[in-house]
Every structure is written in C-alpha cells, then in structure tokens.
Amino acid sequence: MGDRKRDPGTPLIEWIVGGLGALIFLGMVLALIASGLAGEESPPSIRIHVERVTPALGGYVMEFSARNESDATAADVSVIAELDSGGEMQTREARFDYLPPRSERRGGFFFDSDPRAGALELRAEGYNKP
C-alpha cells in the first residue's frame, strides 16, 4: 500500500493544447452566434453571361453561365432568353434547381437562327428561397 507513486500532474503541453482547442471552439460558437444575429441576408444576385454560340443540328446552341455573386442561396432559378431575329421573336427558358452562394452553373438554349445576328436579351427571371 505504501508503494504507490504520486501522479506528477498534467504536463504543461496538455494544458496549452487544451486551451487552444477551447479558444478555437469558443471562436466558432461566437462566429455562429454573430452570423445568426446579423439580420437578413441580401437577396441572390445572379449574373448571366453568354459563353459561346455554336451551330447545331437545325439551328444554334447558345451556352451560358449563371453566377450567384451574393452570399444568399437561390433555388429553382429561371433564366429567360429572348431573341429578336428580324421580326421573329424566339423565347427560351432554362431552370437551375439550386444555385449556392458564390457559385456558377452552366446551361444552353437552342435557337432556330444565329443569336449573334439578332437582338438578344438574357436575364434571370426569378428564384425561390430554399
């Protein structure tokens, strides 16, 4: 019974690592609380850009990208393309199920005539909050 050795205590390195872990954890909790209290987020800001136009069977394909430049998420994003090619109006629509913050998705529209030769309007028409 008298041969028990005394525990020398916790090494200093364990205290340092434990303290750093506690500080990191506390920082993460505070960041989440601040994010939650920051108020309403701004709406999605979606920019549409024509990537390229290529001939396809029976017409042309206009490839485009939709970029969400905000910190808000958009769902069911509707993109509209209207091409006026000499009096004939062609309207096309594409949808993206999900457009996360600061991300980009790609799609394409099929047209009967060359979109480079007519007046083209390309825009994001709407979205839903997920």
Q: Write down the pLDDT at residue 27.
A: 94
> CA-CA distance, 88 to 37, in Å (whole number)?
51
- This prediction's pTM: 0.69
> CA-CA distance, 39 to 36, in Å (whole number)?
7
Give residue 8's region: left, alpha or beta (phi > 0; psi -120 to 50): alpha
* DSSP string across the chain: -TTPPPP----HHHHHHHHHHHHHHHHHHHHHHHHHHT-PPPPP-EEEEEEEEEEETTEEEEEEEEEE-SSS-EEEEEEEEEEEETTEEEEEEEEEEEE-TTEEEEEEEEESS-GGGSEEEEEEEEEE--
Burial of 68 from C-beta contacts in 10 A (0-12 / 13-18 / 19+): buried
> CA-CA distance, 95 to 107, in Å (whole number)?
9
Q: Write down the pLDDT at residue 85.
A: 84
Q: Write down the pLDDT at residue 38.
A: 72
Residues in CB range of 84: below 8 A, 6 or more apart: 118, 119, 120
Per-residue pLDDT 10s for the chain (130 aa) are 556 666 678 889 999 999 999 999 999 999 888 877 776 678 999 999 999 999 999 899 999 999 999 989 999 999 999 999 888 899 999 999 999 999 999 999 999 999 999 899 999 999 999 8
Token code pair at residue 101 = 């913050």
Q: Write down the pLDDT at residue 5.
A: 67
CATH class of 46-126: mainly beta
